[in-house]
């Protein structure tokens, strides 16, 4: 489907994971990879197998069939062999082969200062390390890209050595030499000049990897393409160490909409906003509302500009059609709140509401009302389905909460006892149960399931598989609104529900209640 | 002190205030202007007198002496006269004079599409509007800059008309013609080419105003300077409509540190970080921790990079000295916690442990042990400082928890009652207090502060300013470990503490306890 002419290379899961505060589980990494694949990127760098245990597991599970990619090729990242060690003796290099990834990106030093002062080896040994490692991986049938670390700084220190590294990589069979602005100090003018100079001196295909320390990562990437590179690296939402990496959504927006390069499969760029927000959700970071192309405010107009002016000629006030990246013109109409999206989403979930305009209207109203108080259905399909079913009267009333009480007791000896009591009505019965848990949500979950277990035996198969909390801005820390997402599994499938409330326990309860209701539906 | 050779023009208070959610009071605007002045910018655009009542008041109070500027000149923003109206009859133009601002920026249409379709007048009348208004203001002794709205889009529609607007402005006495990428769709290559072409065709001094819709606002500004403009517009933290404006801190960083242009008075760029954070505070927005140059994580190093390497040569791993913008090198205490990072981090926090190898050893051991159970000191300097002080025996024992109990009761009518009781010992006293809160953490916080308030009156000044929850992967959702970060403020400073526990309430308690302990330290 995609040719090899232009590489869109995503490193959200490797370099992007260096952002302070990000910590993906293996399941998170698999989910992020699936999202990136739906965006249509050509390469997904999954991590450093052999160096990071979670990354090793990620590649193993991907190889076992947990990751079915439609567009992208999976890439493992690693280092050239150690100085003074034979490549076949280098366990880190062996781990790259063991990962099963068809493409390997090797990081190599290309700055004489770093070779001498950080690596503490000779310039020739460093070249041999590149050459040996590329050859070894090529002999094992892998495609190899070489990340030339600190290339631009190195070019200032010795403009020949980086080219020698590129030549060594090419001679050994590498496909791409990636020029990395590792410390992120470059501006686009310097990037363009250096790329042009290097292109004239080496035959290897060139790539670009930038960091945002001057606020120019996206521009630097595009300037490099303008100067002839055909391989760009970026991360979702620009996540990365320090000021971050080049934001892949802005890079793609620039390439596709501003430079006219069709670097993605037909139609996938329209997934940008959804993928951006879903990855933020998984990273447990609030999406940047002002991000170019994909921020919820990226096309929001305030000052002096009336809706009628926009109606007159949206092209006068927007640099592009917001829908091309899955975004929309207005602030208040969010992804879910339009009639069309409610219809589409319902159909996607197997509910036909096209001939029920009354239901669509009331769903739109309820979603708008709830979104104004911090709810979000973006990542909670099951709660959205319950909301639609409630309007369609196809969600039976299975149980009703009378009350609950949770007590967390920390005793003088340091022992913690957490206990929840729920009183629920199911059928003709009023049931009271108490359960202990290792925390308030666990105790509530256990108490509710113990209360309903006899009436609904299938509850036994349900398991709360993930729990996420986001604190939404408020005036004071603990006064803020809490949004809880709960993922529940019944072994064959998984669903996500949402609860929002100033009180974290009530927010959790609302998500739990939806989780159990959804689990009990006949589907 | 500053010559007129290069204009650093800040529009935080005018265009930057278009950002969704920002609403400055007049006092806020005065405070922001003082901060910008301390950064050394040459011009501060304060607003649109006559159009926005708060802006009219701002200029009036500034003129009455409430705003004493050391470096900057105050600028009023407004529009050219209306079509078909004599300039001296135009009340909006008169309001610009009345503001008393010595410099006026006039916005003028320079795109034929906009003149015809939005302004609905003729191309000649639009030129006359520019010419008349500039002449009128010049005759009244004001300096005039002209913002050519939609210049770059207009240049594509008719490459002559924008130049005619610039020429009309110059002929009437304007000092600067500012090329505006109003819809923000440009890339640096196009900006550079257009600026060079326009410079060859007009004699007026050129300026640049960019928006960040392609993620290139900073780069576009710098590319324009590279192509010859000598007047740059930006806003603090890039605040502005849609994706925002060019971030003035990143623009200044690029100009001063990367392009070697001394566009600020001696020493003021070192105020960047302070000014950035203070303006975020006034705008009531969380500072972007990953902002170039001024973000608290802009120089934070994590992965694979050992603190020993940084110690070896910081210039190998940073694009510049962080202290030049008032920032500092940040070492993340992560899994790789070694002796070198503990020493560096302690020094950063003002504790010298270099001659206490025993203390370093036990801190390393405690950090490693805690990190293995999910703790992270990355974002919690105050908890780390307490940990070191405990080993140094410089953290006095202020209070001791005997026990706490939290009850969350959801009653049948839906009412929620959350109540916390704490029993603490402080000095000779045993104190028991109970408080209600809107959630369990709020109740615990209130109960603890009420218990200790009499013994430690300074507790009254403390406020819990942010609360973050992260669920760390566990086998089951609610079995997972919870990490809580709490940010506390005492008006003059802020600190962050961490608590980790399977029970979210206990995790919150641990962070709260550290927050209060740190707040009570003599510092």
The answer to the question of residue A365 being in a domain is no
Partner-chain contact A226 B406, CB within 8 Å: no
How far apart, in Å, are the Cα atoms of A100 and each of A23, A31, B395? Answer: 24, 19, 52
DSSP string for residues in A429-462: EEEEEEEEESSHHHHHHHHHHHHHTTT-GGGGG-
Q: Looking at the structure, tell me whether residues B276 and B356 fall in a common domain.
A: no
Of chain B, the percentage scoring pLDDT greater than 70 comes to: 93
Boundaries of domain holding B64: 7-283
The answer to the question of residue B103 being in a domain is yes
**Chain B residues inside the 8 Å CB shell of A247:** 215
For residues B416 and B397, is the Cβ–Cβ distance under 8 A? no
Q: Side-chain half-sphere of B6: how many Cα atoms within 13 Å? A: 18
**Chain A residues inside the 8 Å CB shell of B20:** 289, 297, 300, 302, 331
Q: Looking at the structure, tell me whether residues A182 and A313 fall in a common domain.
A: no
pLDDT value at A331 more than 50: no
Q: Which one has a higher pLDDT value, A399 or A53?
A: A399
Give me the residue from A219, A476, A506 closest to B416, CB to CB. Answer: A506
Quote the CA–CA distance of B21 and B260 in Å, as a whole number: 36
- What does the pLDDT read at residue B303? 46
- What does the pLDDT read at residue B21? 67
- What does the pLDDT read at residue B313? 76
- What does the pLDDT read at residue A311? 55
The answer to the question of residue B94 being in a domain is yes
Q: CB atoms < 10 A from the CB of B113, how many?
A: 19
For residues A350 and A384, is the Cβ–Cβ distance under 8 A? no
Partner-chain contact B404 A410, CB within 8 Å: yes
Convert the pLDDT of each residue in B382-403 to its tens digit: 999 999 999 999 988 899 999 9
Quote the CA–CA distance of A215 and B251 in Å, as a whole number: 8
SS3 of residue A62 by DSSP: helix
- Closest CA in chain B for residue A184: B319
To test the contact with chain B by mutation, choose from A232, A478, A512 the residue with the greatest count of B C-beta atoms within 10 A, namely A478
Q: Looking at the structure, tell me whether residues B149 and B278 fall in a common domain.
A: yes
Highest mean pLDDT, choosing among A431-435, B17-21, B466-470: A431-435
- What does the pLDDT read at residue B305? 53
To test the contact with chain B by mutation, choose from A78, A154, A182, A216 the residue with the greatest count of B C-beta atoms within 10 A, namely A216
Q: Looking at the structure, tell me whether residues B361 and B425 fall in a common domain.
A: no
User: Which residues, 6 or more positions from B3, have their beta carbon under 8 angstroms from its beta carbon?
Assistant: none
Partner-chain contact B299 A242, CB within 8 Å: yes
From the list A151, A156, A212, A208, the residue with the least C-alpha distance to A185 is A212
Q: Does B37 touch chain A (CB under 8 A)?
A: no
Mean pLDDT of B98-124: 95
To test the contact with chain A by mutation, choose from B19, B219, B301, B400 the residue with the greatest count of A C-beta atoms within 10 A, namely B219
- What does the pLDDT read at residue A209? 98
Partner-chain contact A20 B302, CB within 8 Å: yes
Partner-chain contact A250 B486, CB within 8 Å: no
**What are residue A430's DSSP bridge partners?**
A425
For residues B364 and B342, is the Cβ–Cβ distance under 8 A? yes
Q: Looking at the structure, tell me whether residues B347 and B433 fall in a common domain.
A: no
Chain A nearest C-alpha distance from B508 (Å): 11
Burial class (CB in 10 A: 0-12, 13-18, 19+), A17: buried
The answer to the question of residue B44 being in a domain is yes
* Strands B73-79 and A463-472, bridge-based pairing: unpaired
Q: Does B314 touch chain A (CB under 8 A)?
A: no
The answer to the question of residue B180 being in a domain is yes
Mean pLDDT of B170-188: 97
Give me the residue from A18, A23, A185 closest to B258, CB to CB. Answer: A185
Q: Looking at the structure, tell me whether residues A217 and A316 fall in a common domain.
A: no
State residue A518 phi and psi, 5-degree precision: -65, -40
Quote the CA–CA distance of B397 and B399 in Å, as a whole number: 6
Convert the pLDDT of each residue in A203-259 to its tens digit: 999 999 999 999 999 999 999 999 999 999 999 999 999 999 999 999 999 999 999
**What are residue A498's DSSP bridge partners?**
A485
Partner-chain contact B503 A440, CB within 8 Å: yes
- What does the pLDDT read at residue A451? 94
pLDDT value at A301 more than 70: no
Chain B nearest C-alpha distance from A189 (Å): 7
**Chain B residues inside the 8 Å CB shell of A212:** 290, 292
* CATH label of the domain that carries residue B138: 3.20.20.70
Which residue spans within B162-306 are E strands per DSSP? Answer: 176-180, 205-209, 231-234, 300-301
The answer to the question of residue A308 being in a domain is yes
pLDDT value at A304 more than 70: no
**Chain A residues inside the 8 Å CB shell of B250:** 214-215
Quote the CA–CA distance of B198 and B183 in Å, as a whole number: 19
pTM for this entry: 0.74
Partner-chain contact A408 B506, CB within 8 Å: yes
Q: Looking at the structure, tell me whether residues B235 and B364 fall in a common domain.
A: no
Q: Looking at the structure, tell me whether residues A179 and A314 fall in a common domain.
A: no
What single DSSP character describes residue A117? I
Chain A nearest C-alpha distance from B462 (Å): 12
The answer to the question of residue B379 being in a domain is no
**Chain A residues inside the 8 Å CB shell of B188:** 188-189, 219, 222-223
pLDDT value at A307 more than 50: no
Lowest mean pLDDT of A150-164, A341-355, B414-428, name the range.
A341-355
pLDDT value at B463 more than 90: no
Q: Does A255 touch chain B (CB under 8 A)?
A: no
Mean pLDDT of B295-312: 70
Q: Does B139 touch chain A (CB under 8 A)?
A: no
| Strand order across the A494-501 sheet | A463-472, A481-489, A494-501
Partner-chain contact B439 A503, CB within 8 Å: yes
Q: Looking at the structure, tell me whether residues A182 and A252 fall in a common domain.
A: yes
Give me the residue from B309, B487, B502 closest to A439, CB to CB. Answer: B502
Convert the pLDDT of each residue in B350-387 to its tens digit: 888 888 989 988 988 888 778 767 787 766 889 999 99
Partner-chain contact A253 B214, CB within 8 Å: yes
**Chain A residues inside the 8 Å CB shell of B472:** 23
pLDDT tier at A333, thresholds 50, 70, 90: very low
Structural domain count, chain B? 3
pLDDT tier at A106, thresholds 50, 70, 90: very high
Mean pLDDT of A479-508: 87
To test the contact with chain A by mutation, choose from B114, B180, B224, B439 the residue with the greatest count of A C-beta atoms within 10 A, namely B439
Inter-axis angle of helices B26-39 and B272-283, nearest 10? 170
Q: Does B434 touch chain A (CB under 8 A)?
A: no
Quote the CA–CA distance of B234 and A250 in Å, as a whole number: 20
Convert the pLDDT of each residue in B37-48 to its tens digit: 999 999 999 999
pLDDT tier at A318, thresholds 50, 70, 90: confident
Q: Looking at the structure, tell me whether residues B144 and B76 fall in a common domain.
A: yes
pLDDT value at A95 more than 50: yes
Give the angle B125-B228-B79 at the CA atoms, nearest 5°. 30
Q: For chain A, give the longest Cα–Cα distance.
A: 84
Chain B nearest C-alpha distance from A236 (Å): 14
Mean pLDDT of A287-314: 72
Chain B nearest C-alpha distance from A101 (Å): 22
Q: Looking at the structure, tell me whether residues B240 and B132 fall in a common domain.
A: yes
Q: Which one has a higher pLDDT value, B110 or A347?
A: B110
- What does the pLDDT read at residue B323? 85
**Chain B residues inside the 8 Å CB shell of A219:** 187-188, 215-216, 218-220, 223
**Chain B residues inside the 8 Å CB shell of A404:** 408-410
Tell me which of A283, A308, A340 is where a domain ends: A283
Chain A nearest C-alpha distance from B415 (Å): 9
Q: Does B286 touch chain A (CB under 8 A)?
A: yes
Convert the pLDDT of each residue in A128-158 to its tens digit: 999 999 999 999 999 999 999 999 999 999 9
Alpha helices of A140-271 — where are they, by DSSP H? Answer: 151-157, 161-171, 188-199, 217-226, 248-253
Of chain A, the percentage scoring pLDDT greater than 70 comes to: 93
Q: Looking at the structure, tell me whether residues A185 and A305 fall in a common domain.
A: no
Place of tokens 């502005």: B240
The answer to the question of residue B288 being in a domain is no
Q: Does B439 touch chain A (CB under 8 A)?
A: yes
Q: Does B513 touch chain A (CB under 8 A)?
A: no
**Chain A residues inside the 8 Å CB shell of B300:** 20, 241-242
Mean pLDDT of B6-20: 94
């Amino acid at each position: 489907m995609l040719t090899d002419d232009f590489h869109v290379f995503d490193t959200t899961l490797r370099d992007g994971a260096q952002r302070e505060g990000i910590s993906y589980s293996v399941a998170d990494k698999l989910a992020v990879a699936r999202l990136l694949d739906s965006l249509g990127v050509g390469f997904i760098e999954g991590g450093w197998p052999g160096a990071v245990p979670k990354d090793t597991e990620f590649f193993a599970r991907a190889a076992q069939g947990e990751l079915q990619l439609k567009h992208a090729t999976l890439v493992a990242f690693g280092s050239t062999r150690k100085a003074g060690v034979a490549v076949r003796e280098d366990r880190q290099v062996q781990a790259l082969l063991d990962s099963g990834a068809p493409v390997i990106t090797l990081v190599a030093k290309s700055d004489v200062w770093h070779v001498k002062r950080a690596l503490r080896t000779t310039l020739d040994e460093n070249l041999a390390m590149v050459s040996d490692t590329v050859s070894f991986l090529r002999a094992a049938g892998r495609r190899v890209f070489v990340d030339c670390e600190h290339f631009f700084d190195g070019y200032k220190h010795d403009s020949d050595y980086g080219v020698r590294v590129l030549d060594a990589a090419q001679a050994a069979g590498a496909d791409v030499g990636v020029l990395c602005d590792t410390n992120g100090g470059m501006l686009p003018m310097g990037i363009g000049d250096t790329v042009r100079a290097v292109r004239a001196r080496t035959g290897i295909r060139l790539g670009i990897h930038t960091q945002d320390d001057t606020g120019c990562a996206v521009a630097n990437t595009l300037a490099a393409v303008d100067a002839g590179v055909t391989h760009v690296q970026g991360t979702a939402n620009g996540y990365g160490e320090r000021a971050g990496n080049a934001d892949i959504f802005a890079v793609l927006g620039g390439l596709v909409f501003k430079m006219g390069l069709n670097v993605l499969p037909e139609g996938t760029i329209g997934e940008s906003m959804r993928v951006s927000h879903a990855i933020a959700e998984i990273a447990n970071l609030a999406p940047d509302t002002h991000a170019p192309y994909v921020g919820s405010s990226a096309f929001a107009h305030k000052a002096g500009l009336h809706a009628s002016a926009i109606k007159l000629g949206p092209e006068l006030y927007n640099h592009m059609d917001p829908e091309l990246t899955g975004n929309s013109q207005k602030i208040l109409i969010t992804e879910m709140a339009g009639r069309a999206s409610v219809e589409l989403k319902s159909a996607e979930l197997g509910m036909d509401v096209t001939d029920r305009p009354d239901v669509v209207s009331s769903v739109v109203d309820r979603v708008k009302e709830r979104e104004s108080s911090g709810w979000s259905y973006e990542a909670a399909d099951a709660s959205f389905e319950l909301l639609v079913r409630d309007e369609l009267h196809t969600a039976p009333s299975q149980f009703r909460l009378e009350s609950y009480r949770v007590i967390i007791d920390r005793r003088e000896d340091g022992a913690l006892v957490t206990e929840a009591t729920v009183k629920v009505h199911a059928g003709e019965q009023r049931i009271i149960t108490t359960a202990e848990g290792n925390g308030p949500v666990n105790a509530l979950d256990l108490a509710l399931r113990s209360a309903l277990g006899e009436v609904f035996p299938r509850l036994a198969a349900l398991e709360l598989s993930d729990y996420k909390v986001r604190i939404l801005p408020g005036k004071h820390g603990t006064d803020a609104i809490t949004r809880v997402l709960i993922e529940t599994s019944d072994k064959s499938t998984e669903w996500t529900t949402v609860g929002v409330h100033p009180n974290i326990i009530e927010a959790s309860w609302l998500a739990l209640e939806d989780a159990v209701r959804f689990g009990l539906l006949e589907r």
